Structure 1
Amino acid sequence: MSSKQVFVCQYQSCLAQGSAEVLAAFLESSDAEVSIVASGCQGQCNLGPTVRILPDEIWYCRVKPQDVETIVHSHLQEDHPVDRLLHPRFHPSYSTP
């Protein structure tokens, strides 16, 4: 696993949609080589909770705690983004879940 940063929005709209639980799931599930960051607003409130992974510049939207294990395994460990969760604004070839 390469060194990655996972930013999980913890601002008002995302918090109201369960981002604290998403952050907790990432903290519980991720490898020590991955930095989990509780971020401020990432400007994507209408499709929150928002998760952004750097340096890949992959944006996920409407992430639920049950999605975290899939993101950790597929994206963080195998380098295969999870298509069904990709944010359509940044990854327009995919539709909103």
Structure 2
Amino acid sequence: MNNLSSRCILVCQHSSCRAFGSSQVLFAFQLAKLPPDVVVMSTGCQGQCSSGPTVRITPEEIWYCRVQPQDVAIIVEQHLYGGNPVTAKLHPRIHPNFSRDI
């Protein structure tokens, strides 16, 4: 990630997130057709164990919670390509001002 304009998808791989399928979420992001400025990385605990799997997009600091493999396509299309966060998956404690679709 040498380019300062790169974006990063950080997928928690700590035990509590893994128990809810974060390894499959990581794999889905790794297989997705991502914009050229985006990299995917696994992380340790991001401190959001009660709402995992946690996915964080930097440098925007958008936090998604309870992400499942089937959510990856919409995150890639709507957020990474379209620039619009997926409100239904935003972490409510971190993004309390966004209305949620659920």
For normalisation by structure 2, the TM-score amounts to 0.88
**Are residue 65 (structure 1) and residue 69 (structure 2) matched?**
yes
Question: Do the aligned partners of 1:4 and 1:33 also contact (CA within 8 Å) in 2?
Answer: yes
**Stretch of structure 1 that moved more, 30-39 or 9-18:** 30-39
Name the % identity.
53
Aligned length: 96
Unaligned runs of 5+ in 2: none
Q: 2:49 pairs with 39, 45, 48, which one?
A: 45
Q: Partner of 2:50: helix, strand, or coil?
A: helix
Which portions of structure 1, spanning 4 or more consecutive aligned residues, are displaced by more than 3 angstroms?
Answer: 94-97
**Are residue 24 (structure 1) and residue 27 (structure 2) matched?**
yes
Closer, same or farther in 2 for the Cα pair 1:51/1:96, shift >3 Å? farther
Question: Offset at 1:96?
Answer: 9.3
Question: Offset at 1:95?
Answer: 5.0
Closer, same or farther in 2 for the Cα pair 1:74/1:62, shift >3 Å? same
Higher Cα Rg: structure 1 or 2? 2
- The whole-number CA distance in structure 2 between the counterparts of 1:95 and 1:5 is 24
Q: Name the aligned partner's letter for residue 80 of structure 1.
A: N
